Amino acid sequence: MKKHILFTLLIACISTTAFSQSNILDQLIVDMERNKAMSLSYVEAMPADKFDYKPSDDVRSFAAQFLHISQGMIGLSSNGTGATPIFQGENLEATEAYHTKEEVTRILTESYDFAIQSMKEMDTSKLDEVVVRGQFEVTRLGWISKAIEHNTHHKGQSAMYLRMNGITPPQYQLF
């Protein structure tokens, strides 16, 4: 009888852990989809002739900000999901041909689609697995969270680029 109760409790704990990890990943996917829509709304708000705008010479242009977001989205999310990154071997930000509104929109969309699809396909039981990249030892869940954090940081910077051009940034979407 004791073995039966212990076995039942063990199965319940395993099921709860798997369910919790699945719920966490599902919420991160929702957050990533919202971040994609918000980022694309920022890109849409900036006129095409202002994509090379920089508040000062020592910072990225508006286009470079979103290409940097894209590169980070790909790299950080692939560290988390284990998916093979898209645009391998390319420095998106350094490729001048990508600094147009059309190309930034395309690449940003593809980077988010890659991250979201990779998250949907990943094995949630691996979220606690540690992935080492350079000096960083971070769980797969941590890498995915950093992809969202990196996006938020640079999108926040780009809000000032819009304001400095007389454009009110798109309304924040909490949910």
For the segment 30-45, what is each residue's pLDDT rounded down to a tens digit? Answer: 999 999 999 999 999 9
Render the burial of 73-97: b for 16+ CB within 10 Å, e for the rest: bbbbbbbbbbbebbbeeeebbeeee
Residue 4 banded pLDDT, cuts 50, 70, 90 = low
Is 51 strand, coil or helix? coil
Instruction: Supply the pLDDT for residue 168.
Output: 96
The β-bridge partners of 130 are 139
Each domain of the chain, given as residue ranges in start order, spans: 24-163
CATH of domain 24-163: 1.20.120.450
pTM (predicted TM-score)? 0.86
Q: How far is CA 155 from CA 72, 138, 150, in A?
A: 12, 23, 9
Reduced to 3 DSSP states, what percent helix, strand and coil does the chain have, rounded to the nearest 5?
70, 5, 25
| Number of CB atoms found within 10 A of residue 157's CB | 16
Query: What type of residue is 171?
Result: Q
Tokens of 23: 């719920």
Q: In terms of Cα–Cα distance, which of 161, 8, 71 is closest to 169?
A: 161
